[in-house]
Amino acid sequence: MPQTNLSSSRRNFVQRFSAGLGALSLSSALPRLAAATSKGKSGKLGIALVGLGNYSTKQLAPAFEHAKGCYLAGIVTGTKAKEAVWKEKYGIKPQNVYNYDNFESIASNKDIDIVYIVLPNSMHAEYTIRAARAGKHVICEKPMALSVAEGQSMIDACRENDVMLSIGYRLHFDPNTREIMKLAAEKPYGNVRYVQSEVAFTIGDPTQWRLKKDMAGGGAVMDVGIYCIQAARYATGEEPIAIRAQEFKTDWEKFKDVDETVSWQLEFPSGAYSSSTTSYNMRTNRLYVSYQKGAANLEPATKYTGIKGQIQKRILDVTPISQQARQMDGFAQSVRSGTPSIVPGEEGLKDMKVIEALYRSLANGGKRTLI
């Protein structure tokens, strides 16, 4: 989860760019650097974090301590006060500190191989495209965009500029989650019959951007419901073909703009079925999978502090790892080797397709909707 609050300067910036991609001024003719070669094969790749909210501050920046293939090389922030703090704390060179006005000049910075977009959802497409045009490889936080169309434009921009795009799906780098994926691929317990995935928390500050539709694109569905969609997809190893969705609201003031609680069910080609609930007004965090001949359970299934669970009777390893370090290292390795990310833009786009179908189903009173 990215930050839950915006500094006032970033908020102003967001307002300035609320017109969306039309505000793009960067020329696509700008000279582009070759894909990360600055550190050589043995060196660490430099990552610049764009947006220094909670997720950057409390999760990503500390994770670099555990990273082996990348380091925190730069920052992009609209808050002057943060610059000094971050420079001091993480030893960031003055020339690697950018704001939203001079971001384009990052193109000529050889220290920065990868740009990590940790901005509000509405800015993901814009900044991913800017970074791609600046010749930088991109990690973009989830949800990748506000729509399938935006997501596609990000993929296209990265392809056109010959940079790699990865979505911030840290759980694909978590060993316990990977065990669940392996069960879908190797089928030791047969086909998946059922997936129950739910992620919900009680949201705080009612003024935060997550509760504004123009910045978040939606409520709990966009923020944590996407984890449930991911989970149903990686637990089955299949793409869903239909969805039915239901909305429930108790606080019409706080959630006047976005969804508070949404349930949905997915149908998969093999006959697997999934049921999910997400919410900003309750607590749950689980992935349960029923196979033809067994079951697996992760709980919590998405927490930064560790994914716990069991497969049949076997309790999964609880040795702490840094999901974010593994994720960033994984992408650095992809960049270094020229191998596509295991969570490329296309992976994010698949979730966006489900989310769009989910909202269509909601708009149609819960009717079964093809994805």
Catalytic residues, by residue number, are 142, 227
Q: How far is the CB of 69 from a copy of itself (least distance, A)?
A: 38
Of the candidates 152, 116, 187, 183, the residue with the CA atom closest to the CA atom of residue 335: 116
The label of the residue with tokens 């840290």 reads 170
| CB neighbour list of residue 309: distance below 8 Å, 6 or more residues apart | 176, 287, 296, 297, 298, 299, 301, 315, 316
Q: How far is the CB of 241 from a copy of itself (least distance, A)?
A: 12
Instruction: Quote the least distance from Cβ 177 to a copy of itself, whole Å.
Output: 20
The nearer residue to a copy of itself, 169 or 359, going by C-beta atoms, is 359
Q: Which is nearer to a copy of itself, 197 or 327 (CB)?
A: 197
**Is the CB of 175 or the CB of 271 nearer to a copy of itself?**
271
Element (H, E) at 183: helix 175-186
SS3 assignment, position 299: coil
**Cβ–Cβ < 8 Å for 276, 228:** yes
Phi-psi region of 332 (alpha: psi -120 to 50; beta: other; left: phi over 0): alpha
Closest approach of Cβ 133 to a copy of itself, in Å?
44
**C-alpha–C-alpha distance, residues 177 and 263, integer Å:** 22
Task: Please state the length of the chain.
Answer: 371
Chain contacts with a copy of itself (rule: CB under 8 A): 193-194, 196, 198, 200, 244, 246, 248, 250, 261, 263, 265, 267, 271, 273, 275, 277, 279, 281-284, 286, 288, 290, 295, 365-368
Query: Is 37 strand, coil or helix?
Result: coil
Instruction: Please identify, using beta-carbon distances, which residue of 230 and 261 lies nearer to a copy of itself.
Output: 261
Identify the residue whose tokens are 């539709």: 213
- Cβ proximity of 61 and 2 under 8 Å: no
Nearest distance, CB of residue 247 and a copy of itself, angstroms: 10
DSSP tag of 222: I
Q: Which is nearer to a copy of itself, 89 or 367 (CB)?
A: 367
